[in-house]
A and B are shown apart, each in its own frame.
Chain A
Amino acid sequence: MKRLLLPLVLLLALPVMVAGQLLEWPTHYGDYSGRRYSPLTQIASANVKNLALAWIYRASPQAVANSGGEYRQGDQYYWGGPSPTVTIKATPLMVDGVLYLAAPDHAYAVDARTGKEIWHYYWRTRGGIHIGNRGVGLRGNALFFETPDCYLVSLDATTGRERWHKEIADVRQQYFCTPAPIVIGNHVIVGIGGDSLDVQGYLESRDPDTGDLQWRWYSTPQKKGDPGSETWPDEYSMTHGGGMTWLPPTYDPDLNLLYVPTGNPNPVFSPRSRPGDNLFTCSLVALDPETGKMKWYFQTSPHDTHDWDSAQVPVLIDGQIDGRPRKLIAQAARNGYFFLLDRTNGQHILTVPYVDFMNWSLGVNAKGQPINNPAKDVTVDGVLISPGSATNWPPPSFNPKTGLLYVGTSQSYALQYLTDTDERPEGYGGGAVGVGGAGGRESYIKAIDYKTGKVRWRHPLTEGGAMGLLSTAGDLLFGGDGSGNFVAYDPSTGDPLWHVGLGTSPSNGPMTFMLDGRQYVVVGAGDSLYAFTLPR
Chain B
Amino acid sequence: MSHRRARLAAAFFSFSAGIVLAAAAQPPRIEPGVERLRAFDPAAVDRGRSVFANKCGACHRANARGGQGFSGPDLLRSVLVLQDAGGKEIGAYLQTGHPDKTKPPIALTPAEISDIATFLHREITFAAERTNYQLQYAMTGNAAAGEAYFKGAGGCARCHSPAGDLKGIGARNDGPRLQALIVFGTISGGRGAEPSPRIARRATVTLPSGETVSGILVRLTDFDVTIRNDAGRTLTWLRSGNTPRVQVTDPLQGHVDLMAEYSDADIHNLAAYLATLK
**Interface residues in chain A, defined as those with a beta carbon under 8 Å from any beta carbon in chain B:** 76-81, 83, 127, 129-132, 170, 172-174, 195-198, 240, 246, 263, 307, 309, 311, 357, 359, 375-376, 379-384, 386, 388-389, 392-393, 413, 415, 417-424, 426-428, 430-431, 433-441, 462-463, 481, 483, 485, 487, 496, 499, 501
Contact = CB atoms under 8 A, between A and B. Distances in A.
26 contacts: A76-B15, A77-B14, A130-B10, A131-B4, A173-B83, A174-B82, A197-B128, A380-B137, A381-B138, A382-B179, A382-B267, A383-B264, A386-B259, A388-B2, A392-B3, A413-B259, A415-B179, A417-B137, A426-B128, A427-B130, A430-B133, A434-B135, A439-B259, A440-B256, A463-B221, A483-B219
B140 interface: yes
B11 A80 contact: yes
Nearest to A199: B77
B63 interface: yes
B206 interface: no
Of the listed residues A81, A375, A415, the one surrounded by the most CB atoms of chain B closer than 10 A to its CB is A415
Contacts of B260: 357, 359, 386
Contact of B16 (A76, A127, A463): A76
3 closest Cβ pairs, A-B complex? A439-B189, A437-B188, A426-B127
By DSSP majority rule, is chain B's interface helix, strand, loop, or mixed?
Answer: loop
B103 interface: no
A423 B128 CA distance: 17
A196 B130 CA distance: 8
Interface residues of B, number: 68
A129 B130 contact: no
B162 interface: no
Contact of A423 (B1, B67, B176): B67
B79 A173 contact: yes
Contact of B223 (A311, A389, A496): A496
A263 B4 CA distance: 13
Contacts of A174: 82, 128
B1 A431 contact: no
Given A132-B3, A426-B77, A437-B184, 8 more contacts: A76-B13, A79-B11, A386-B260, A413-B259, A422-B65, A427-B130, A433-B134, A496-B223
A439 B256 CA distance: 8
Interface of B: 1-4, 6-8, 10-16, 33, 63, 65-68, 74, 76-77, 79, 82-83, 85-86, 124, 127-130, 133-141, 175-177, 179-180, 183-190, 219-223, 255-256, 259-260, 262, 264, 267-268
The CB with the most chain A CB atoms within 10 A, among B139, B221, B255, is that of: B221
Contact of B135 (A170, A311, A419, A439): A419
Contacts of A173: 79, 82-83
Contact of B1 (A130, A392, A430, A487): A392
A77 B13 CA distance: 6
A277 B183 CA distance: 31
A239 B220 CA distance: 48
Nearest to A80: B11
A422 B63 contact: yes
B133 A419 contact: yes
Given A198-B77, A424-B74, A435-B180, A80 B10 contact: yes
A427 B1 contact: no
A501 B15 CA distance: 44
A417 B135 contact: yes
Contacts of B268: 381-382
Nearest to B63: A422
B142 to A, nearest CB: 12
A433 B65 CA distance: 22
Nearest to A83: B10
Nearest to A264: B1
Contact of B137 (A309, A381, A499): A381
A94 B68 CA distance: 55
Contact of B221 (A76, A77, A485): A485
B77 A436 contact: no
Nearest to B246: A462
A65 B33 CA distance: 40
